[in-house]
Amino acid sequence: MRVLVTGGAGYIGSTAVAILLERGYEVTVLDDCSTGHFESVPSSAKFISGSILDSKALAEALADCAAVIHFAAKSIVGESVEKPDLYHEVNVEGTRRLLDEMARLGVSKLVFSSTAATYGEPEIIPITEESPTVPTSPYGRTKLEVDQMITAESRLGLAAVSLRYFNVAGAFNSKSGWLTERHSPETHLIPNLLRASVANPLKVFGNDWPTADGTCIRDYVHVVDLIDAHILALEKLTASKHEIINLGSGGGYSVTQVIDAAAKVVGSDIPTQISARRSGDPAVLIADISKAKKVLGWIPTRNIKDMVSDTWKSQNASASK
């Protein structure tokens, strides 16, 4: 089966492409490389350079594909506050065009990269798929709008799963080398703390949160476990059905606990500096992953040490190139 992976040159998308290929799928990638990296796409994938806003590129990319895994999106919360129109255009309008082309060409299977940001500030932890969706950023709002659009499309026959990611971390050692986070600027905790130095310490965004050690708690999930869930979802798609499923590990780590895990991995202290809270950060986000376990038969197997250690190895591998 040939699968179209939109955004297949990005961190999570390229990991999906490499794992799909290793599992025997044929893969087409559609990416405009606005934030992704062409060299992250394995040469055995068919690569189409273009945006999801370009119906012609979409039609070319969908040729011979039986299913789509849709990652292409703008995904920086802070940037979405500054550029809500851009986020609406790419995430909502881009997905509208993808769904229209899929319907026109008879491609009726979709796995969509959604997000915990659709829930906003949770009232109850852990967060289930029934929790209220009150996104606090334009980014979260665009992803929620797409989830709703996909539900409407499923009533016309589309088989779809939206996977709501919590904090994705780690890296994948593919046959052609490490695939890892290379955002610019990098905002995520694990890559940032691994680059921290005495001259440039990791900024800890607040130590006065209502948590045991005062730092924010997040639910980190390894990118390889995350992609395993995508492939299970792909194999379980049912016509006219749209499932929404959380993907996390089902447990939380505070920023301080992640820093401590990282110090053990690298064998030395991580230099830190307590800074002001980052606006928009909730204190605690933890996923209830019972639906993923039940519907997909998925169990994440990699822990926080694996996530830090794989990111560390991948950073060292790219530094030595």
Cβ-proximal residues to 170 (8 Å cutoff; 6+ apart), any chain = 190, 222, 223, 224, 302, 306, 307, 310, 311
Contact between 147 and 283 under an 8 Å Cβ cutoff? The reply is no
305 part of the interface to ligand UDP, by CB under 6 A:
no
- For residue 179, list its beta bridge partners: 172
Number of residues that make up the chain: 321
Instruction: Report how far residue 10's alpha carbon sits from residue 181's, in angstroms, rounded to the nearest whole number.
Output: 8
What is the number of alpha carbons within 13 Å of residue 316 lying toward its C-beta?
10
- Which residue in 253, 243, 252, 240 sits closest to 292, CA to CA? 243
182 scored as a contact of ligand UDP (CB under 6 A) = no
Nearest to ligand UDP of 273, 290 (CB atom):
273
Q: Where is 162: in which H helix or E strand?
A: strand 159-165
Q: Which is nearer to ligand UDP, 159 or 247 (CB)?
A: 247
Say whether residue 148 binds ligand UDP (CB under 6 A). no
Nearer to ligand UDP, 65 or 163 (CB): 163
Smallest gap, in angstroms, from Cβ of residue 205 to ligand UDP? 4
Interior angle at CA 181, CA 281 and CA 245, nearest 5: 60
Q: Show the binding pattern over residues 63-102: x = contacts ligand UDP (CB under 6 A), - = does not.
A: ----------------------------------------
Active-site residue, 25 included: no
Residue 35 burial (CB count, 10 A): 18
Phi, psi values for residue 174, rounded to 5°: -80, 175
Convert residues 236-255 into a mask of x (bound to ligand UDP by CB under 6 A) and - (unbound): -------------------x
Scanning 42-50, 68-76, 182-190, 237-245 for contacts with ligand UDP by CB under 6 A, the matching segment is: 182-190
Question: Interface with ligand UDP includes 204 (CB under 6 A)?
Answer: yes
**Stretch of residues binding ligand UDP (CB under 6 A), selected from 20-28, 105-113, 197-205, 311-319:** 197-205
Q: Who's near 177: CB < 8 A, 6+ residues apart?
A: 317
Dihedral, CA of residue 235, residue 239, residue 244 and residue 247, to nearest 10: 0
Is residue 192 part of the contact set for ligand UDP (CB under 6 A)? yes
Judged by CB under 6 A, the residue of 278, 279, 299, 316 near ligand UDP is: 278
Q: What is the 3-state secondary structure (H, E, C) of 53-92?
A: CCHHHHHHHHCCCCEEEECCCCCCHHHHHHCHHHHHHHHH
Catalytic annotation, pick one of 139, 165, 220, 253? 139
Choosing from 97, 203, 293, 313, the residue that interacts with ligand UDP (CB under 6 A) is 203
Rounded least distance, CB 209 to ligand UDP, Å: 8
Peptide bond into 126 cis (omega under 30): yes
Q: How far is the CB of 281 from ligand UDP (least distance, A)?
A: 5
Is residue 216 close enough to count as binding ligand UDP by CB under 6 A? yes
Smallest gap, in angstroms, from Cβ of residue 168 to ligand UDP? 9
Residue 190 near residue 308, CB atoms below 8 Å: yes
The residue (of 260 and 281) whose beta carbon lies closer to ligand UDP is: 281
Quick check: 188 binds ligand UDP (CB under 6 A)? yes
Closer to ligand UDP at the Cβ: 35 or 167? 167
> Is residue 111 a contact point for ligand UDP (CB under 6 A)?
no
For ligand UDP, the binding residues (CB under 6 A) are: 167, 187-189, 192, 202-205, 216, 218, 255, 278, 281
Residues annotated catalytic, as ranges: 139
